[in-house]
Every structure is written in C-alpha cells, then in structure tokens.
C-alpha cells in the first residue's frame, strides 16, 4: 500500500484554492441577492408608509377641525379646544413614531443566512488548513 504522492500536492492545493474562491463567489452572490430582496421589501414598505402618511395628514386635519368645533360647542373656548386637540394628536404622533422606529431597524435587514454560511465556510477552511 503506497502513500500519497507528493507530486500531486501543488495540483491539489490549486484545486482547493479554486474551490474556495468559487465558494466565496457563490456566497457573495447569495448575500447580494438577499440584500437586494431585503431592500426591495423595505422600499415597498416605505412607499406604503408614505401613502399612509399623506392620507393620515388629510384625515387628521379633518378630524381635528371637527373635534375643535365639537369641543367649542361643549363650553371650551376655541383656543382651549385647539390646544386639547393638538395635545392629543401630538401624543398619538409620538406613540406612532416610537412604534415605527422599533419596527424598522438594521438588524432585520441584515443578510443573516448568508453571513452564517460565510462564517461556517471560513471555519471549514480553517479546519482544512490546520489538519
């Protein structure tokens, strides 16, 4: 039984290097596709947020005008009615901003699957190099 032929070592190392480069390129393409998908999803969400914002501004203007008029008929002065309405709307706006900020974050846009694959590939390559 004969051992491995050392003359094959350069060819084997070259093959390992080519496969490592090919693997890295494939992982890069996967990460790029995952990022593109995340950005497309985020841009659609932003478009819907924009439409909702415009419609909400119009609706809130109408509701605020009606609320001020109703409060004025309930015995408040026009200034008191406007201040109460504006204060309530400001509180609601702050709550909406807080919730929105919690929903949109960089962690959700991170290509975690691709990063995990790259880490695993690097660990495999390091193990191959050691042993």
Structural domain total, the chain: 1
> In this predicted structure, what is the pLDDT of residue 55?
94
> In this predicted structure, what is the pLDDT of residue 3?
63
Establish if 75 belongs to a structural domain: yes
Check whether 1 has a pLDDT greater than 80.
Answer: no
DSSP string, 13-43: HHHHHHHHHHHHHHHHHHHHHHHHHHHHHHH
Residue found under tokens 């408040």: 76
Establish if 113 belongs to a structural domain: yes
Domain of residue 60, residue span? 7-130
The pLDDT of 57-82, averaged and rounded, is 92
Establish if 2 belongs to a structural domain: no
Residue 93 backbone dihedrals phi, psi, to 5 degrees: -65, -40
Using one digit for the tens of pLDDT, what is the confidence trace for 71-113? 999 999 999 999 999 999 899 989 999 888 887 876 666 777 8
Q: How far apart are CA 41 and CA 36, in angstroms?
A: 9
């Amino acid at each position: 039984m004969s051992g491995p032929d050392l003359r094959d070592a350069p060819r084997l190392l070259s093959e390992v290097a080519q496969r490592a480069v090919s693997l890295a390129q494939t992982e890069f393409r996967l990460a790029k596709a995952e990022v593109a998908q995340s950005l497309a999803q985020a841009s659609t969400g932003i478009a819907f947020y924009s439409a909702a914002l415009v419609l909400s501004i119009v609706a809130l203007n109408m509701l605020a005008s009606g609320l001020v008029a109703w409060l004025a008929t309930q015995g408040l002065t026009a200034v008191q009615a406007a201040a109460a309405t504006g204060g309530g709307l400001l509180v609601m706006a702050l709550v909406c901003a807080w919730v929105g900020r919690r929903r949109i974050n960089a962690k959700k846009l991170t290509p975690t699957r691709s990063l995990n694959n790259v880490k695993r590939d690097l660990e495999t390559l390091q193990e191959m190099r050691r042993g």
